[in-house]
Structure 1
Amino acid sequence: MASDPKDSTDRRTQLAADRTLLASERTYAAWMRTGLAALASGVGAKALLDGEIAHWLATATAVLLLIFAGFCFVAGVWREIGGAVPRPRTDMARLPTWLLLGSTAFWCWSAPPCWWAYWCAERKPV
């Protein structure tokens, strides 16, 4: 017996929706990963660059990296929750919105202590 072509088409559509959901979650993870890398780089910029280059340039580098980290955290959640394209219906469970917002809030709130540590750290004599 041959299978009904309509069933095959419906199954392929469902699998495509599942792949779309997984791709969306991978993209969210990439935004978070980039934000964490920028946050760590911003914190490390003072330790590595201060004394090697002009202080204002080390400060500007650290500030830009910390701002970029916050942007990545917010952009990742914005893209995941408020996507312009409607989400396909899928059998797979999506990441809960509260988890996305909570993790983003945590990482955004971790930036001010990084700023504090940066500004309060003792400067090396040049």
Structure 2
Amino acid sequence: MRYGRQLTISAYTLDATVIDISQDEELATTPVTATLTANVSTAVADAVEAGDEYRLAGQPVATVQDVTREQTNGERVRLAVRVEFVARETTSGPMYGGEPLRLGRQLTVATDRYEFVGEVTAVEA
């Protein structure tokens, strides 16, 4: 097992990439706040609220801080959602979802009530 090497776990037919090999029980993380924009249905737009969390293994990894809505033509709503992510610290910057957290990146925000993909339009330092 080596850093960066891809593994196939045949019992589950799952491809994975090793991101850390160490004796530490926890990965170093840092909070990073980013704004995402997305065009979503009215139902999804109405469901998104400040305080919503995306949880992984019982721990919050993304928390909605603020949301603004702008009606577009038709039945779509343009959302601007400010989210605090629990990002993994790396030498090349914070990572979320296995990729660098940077402008232009597409991220999925999901809770038990909704899911949408938004583009990162701002990252707070």
- TM-score between both structures, scaled by the size of structure 1: 0.24
Highest RCO, 1 vs 2 (Cα 8 Å, sep ≥ 6): 1
Greater per-residue helix proportion = 1
Point out the structure with the larger strand share: 2
TM-score by length of 2: 0.24
Compare CA radii of gyration and give the structure with the larger one: 1
